[in-house]
Amino acid sequence: MGTTVFERQRPAASVVQHSLADTKHAVFWRDDLPEALTPDRPPLVGSHRADLVVVGGGYTGLWTALLATERDPGAKVVIVEAQRVGWAASGRNGGFCEASLTHGHENGMSRWPDEMPTLERLGAENLDAIEASQANYGMDFQFERTGQLAPAVEPHQVEWLKEWAAEGEDGVVYLDEAEAQASVHSPTYLAAVWEKNACGMVHPARMAAELARVCEERGVEIFERSHVTGLDTSGPGVVVVTEEGRVAASRAALGTNVFPSLIKRNRLMTVPVYDYVLMTEPLTDAQLASIGWQDRQGIGDLANQFHYYRISQDNRILFGGYDAIYRYGRRLNPAHEHRPESWRKLASHFFTTFPQLDGLRFTHQWAGAIDTSTQFTAFFGTARERRVAYAAGFTGLGVGSTRFAGEVMLDLLDGVENERTALEMVRKRPLPFPPEPAASIGINATRWSLDRADHNRGRRNLLLKTLDALGLGFDS
């Protein structure tokens, strides 16, 4: 079994120790929000009425509410959030706003090959609409249309990139070793593909906060710190119930994602997988010059256990990924967000990627759960006689596709037949995860196998090949 570049070219332990010496366990993006974008909204108390009630104040719920006001400016829309707007995945992710609705071209081709031209066009239109929304609504979530760089860091990955570039997708450019390292000065790069139009970078917490601000300007009422305990559909509509209040509405949209679904049949559809992230201090001009990266692309390498990284507007580097940890029992627990060994590993891999930044410190470290589905992208549906719509399972690519999910949920509630609702991805549910202990055994065996593949020139073992054949294999 071979070694990876991150094992062959490890930095000194003292470099890692120094970089993490004063790191704060907090989400940088939320620390970076101005007070004007973090108003303290009231909890839900008493009885309220609405045309549409949205459960969840992250991207899925916020886009759904905003799009609902576009479709019917006179509609009364209410959002009920258990904590604060954007406090979970929407406020702490890497800020990669991708055009892909299918968690990448290969994943989509393996599942819905006949629909991929439509899915890719809809994804591109969706990304264009997100970019345009800044000007349309006077928002600022620091959108940069940078595209995304996929570097090969092991020899066997170079051929993958050549095959990808040979498919002739628009805006996909192959870079050889010299060109890749001229673009981003990392000695680990052996080649790269640059998808020039397929991704934008955003400030995640600002995006959620700005969406909430615009929703309220358009008449949406947002209640925070209001945990929904149930859906009552015994009457003609839907009643969302919390400990201190209720909202009676004609329809409901659920954007609860990684949290236990209010629809019982959906509770085995996702599992929480914990992801870990570091953020550096701002780079000096000399440090920036030493790494190049003038095109500011988002970067994600080609390993099964991959890293993702990007530059913030104030020239910090966010570096995350690699460890994706599932905990027995599916339970969400803040204690799972503290894993020093993952941050030490990330710091080590960071300085392997950019050894010229020796001495740089990390100011923030954090973690959180990703809502993972067996098809590695969102699934959709309705319940309670089509009075309730849901979308979940974004598997880490929800920054862009949550807006599309909002459109789909509103289409489903309206009973609209169009190219979105005709998609097999929308019409058919993926397989659920099994209950415990089978889920833990299967997920951890898969993770072990993916790591083995990364150490064996990408060769997939019998378990991974079987999962691929069943449509459960993962190829990001």
Per-residue pLDDT for the chain (476 aa), expressed as one digit of tens each? Answer: 689 999 999 999 999 999 999 999 999 999 999 999 999 999 999 999 999 999 999 999 999 999 999 999 999 999 999 999 999 999 999 999 999 999 998 899 999 999 999 999 999 999 999 999 999 999 999 999 999 999 999 999 999 999 999 987 888 999 999 999 999 999 999 999 999 999 999 999 999 999 999 999 999 999 999 999 999 999 999 999 999 999 999 999 999 999 999 999 999 999 999 999 999 999 999 999 999 999 999 999 998 889 999 999 999 999 999 999 999 998 899 999 999 999 999 999 999 999 999 999 999 999 999 999 999 999 999 999 999 999 999 999 999 999 999 999 999 999 999 999 999 999 999 999 999 998 888 888 887 777 777 777 777 777 666 766 666 655 43
Q: Packing angle between helix 116-137 and helix 398-414, nearest 10 degrees?
A: 100
Helix, strand, coil share of the chain (percent; to 5)? 35, 25, 40
Decide: 205 and 86 in contact? Cβ < 8 Å: yes
Asked if residues 227 and 220 have their Cβ atoms less than 8 Å apart, the reply is no
Other C-beta atoms closer than 10 Å to the C-beta of 48 total 18
* 45 alpha carbon, distance to own chain's centre: 32
What is the rounded distance in angstroms from the CA atom of residue 71 to the CA atom of residue 264?
A: 30
CA 178 to chain centre: 31
Query: Both tokens of residue 192?
Result: 């790269």
Residue 78 has phi, psi (to 5 degrees) of -125, 135
Q: What global pTM score does this model have?
A: 0.95
pLDDT at 99: 97
The answer to whether 132 and 243 are in contact (CB under 8 A) is: no
Phi, psi (degrees; rounded to nearest 5) at 133: -65, -25
| Paired sense of beta strands 24-25 and 362-372, if any | parallel
Burial pattern 122-145, b for ≥16 Cβ within 10 A else e, equals: bbbebbeebbebbeebebebbbbe
Tokens 């079987």 sit on residue: 466
pLDDT of residue 472: 60
DSSP three-state, residue 325: strand
Q: In Å, what is the CA distance from 299 to each residue of 174, 177, 179?
A: 14, 16, 15
Whether 331 contacts 163, CB under 8 Å: no
Looking at residue 470, its pLDDT comes to: 60
**What six digits make up the tokens of 356?**
């010229």
Closest listed residue to residue 37, CA positions, set 107, 140, 115 = 140
Structure confidence at residue 17 (pLDDT)? 98
User: For residues 73 and 219, what is the distance between their CA atoms, to the nearest angstrom?
Assistant: 9
The Cα–Cα gap between 20 and 219 comes to 45
Q: Rounded CA gap, 108 and 151, in Å?
A: 21
Strand partners, 365: 25, 278
DSSP 365-395: EEEEEEEE-TTSS-EEEEETTTTEEEEE--T
**pLDDT score of 454:** 74
Cα Rg of the chain, angstroms: 22
Sign of CA dihedral 327, 402, 385, 242: positive
